[in-house]
Structures are given as C-alpha cells and as structure tokens.
Chains A and B, each alone.
Chain A
Amino acid sequence: EAGVAQSPRYKIIEKRQSVAFWCNPISGHATLYWYQQILGQGPKLLIQFQNNGVVDDSQLPKDRFSAERLKGVDSTLKIQPAKLEDSAVYLCASSLGANRGTDTQYFGPGTRLTVL
C-alpha cells in the first residue's frame, strides 16, 4: 500500500514570495490533515478536511495561508506572501475518517520550507 506522498521535499524562497505544497493521501482515506512543525516543536494542526469539506481551520492564518482539497483526494497548501516565521516542516497526514480516536493518522515525509 502506497503511503502519503508530498512534494516538494525542500523549498527555499524569499520573504513575500508565494509557495505551494502538494499532498496525495492514502487511497480511500477520507480525512486529510496539514500540520506545521517549527524547529524544536511538535506538529501543530493547520487545517483538517473531511472529503472535500473543511472540518477545522481555526489555526490557519487565513490572511496568508490557503488550502484546498478538490474532489476529496489531493490537497494543496499555499502561502502568499511568505514570512520568515513560516520556515518550518509542513506535514500532511491522512486517515480513514472513522469518528473515533482509533482512526490512525499516517504521515507523509513532509516539506521543509526555508524563508530567507
């Protein structure tokens, strides 16, 4: 079974530029998560999708971050314009979407973003 795929693995941009990350979840997984992991910290949820609908985006800085999940499969996360503090690893995870804590989340390898 193929895992969660993410691209690119690394991205370096200058502040005020825009950037986009892509995630392909495990086939059949209804729930998709984007986490931000700043160096030295644990991942923090940015947005959660259930199929193509947003479940939770309360911690997404909506003035600069946007995300979509067209057709309930792949997802893209965009930052425009980027700030220095956006430097982090962006992790995508997916799960079957069962309404219980036993619903295991599987993570992708992440995209390391450096903003100069």
Chain B
Amino acid sequence: AQTVTQSQPEMSVQEAETVTLSCTYDTSESDYYLFWYKQPPSRQMILVIRQEAYKQQNATENRFSVNFQKAAKSFSLKISDSQLGDAAMYFCAYRSNSGNTPLVFGKGTRLSVIA
C-alpha cells in the first residue's frame, strides 16, 4: 500500500519570504500523480499543484513550485513571496494512475505566515 509522510507538523515563514514543505512517499508503482492541497480554516481542500511521475520537469503554478525527486521518492513544495493568505494546512497526496483511485494523504503541515 502507498504511504505519504510529511515530517514537519508546523512551519512558519515571514511574509514575502520563501518556505519549503517536505513530503516523502512510498510506492512500488512507476506511474502515479502527486499533489499538494491547501486547507484553510474554512476546511475546503483546494488543489495547489500537481506533478505527473513520468514528467521530469518540476511543476510550477505562479508562486508555487515543486522539487520532485522520483528516485528518492521526495516531493517538496516551495512557496515564494509568501502572503498572509497562504496560511493554512498543506497536505501532500498520492494517486495511482491505474484506474479511478482515491487520494492517499499525508498528515499535513500547518503553515503560519508572519506579517
């Protein structure tokens, strides 16, 4: 079974600075997707960024980018120019590409942004 590990329960960053959230995963599959979701206090999970395992190029969405290391099974999220609205829980998630499968989530990292 696939597992996702987020080793940082909490992180903080100064406004306008850069922060990196860590994620590792375990799988025997070669074809899969990785995601970062944001969950603000409203509880609504919002997709931040997605990475396809067979693509070597790291995904980027505006201020959000990932460092995907397939051999190391590592998938970190970098947030540049942090804003107060970035404060939330961030969840790393895995999804197999074999069939219509659910997401497997890590335990999350709570990000605080300091003004």
Partner of B105, one of A40, A44, A50, A101: A44
A56 at interface, CB cutoff 8 A? yes
Binds A, one of B39-47, B64-72, B76-84: B39-47
Query: Given A50-B100, A56-B102, A101–B33 Cβ distance below 8 Å?
Result: yes
Q: In the complex, which residues of chain A have a beta carbon less than 8 angstroms from the beta carbon of B50?
A: 102, 104
Return the chain A residue nearest B33 by Cβ.
A101
Interface of A is mostly: loop
Partner of B47, one of A55, A91, A104: A104
CB of A101 within 8 A of CB of B95, answer: yes
Residues of B at the A interface (CB closer than 8 Å) are 4, 31-33, 42-47, 50, 52, 91, 93, 95-97, 99-103, 105-108
Query: Given A43-B103, A109-B42, A110-B43, A101–B97 Cβ distance below 8 Å?
Result: yes
Cα–Cα distance between A89 and B32 once the two chains are bound (Å) = 27
| Interface residue tally for chain A (C-beta within 8 Å) | 31
Task: Tell me the smallest distance from the CB of B6 to a CB of chain A, in Å.
Answer: 8
A48 at interface, CB cutoff 8 A? yes
Q: In the complex, which residues of chain A have a beta carbon less than 8 angstroms from the beta carbon of B44?
A: 3, 107-110
Within 8 A of B (CB), among A88-105: 89, 91, 93, 97-105
CB of A42 within 8 A of CB of B102, answer: no
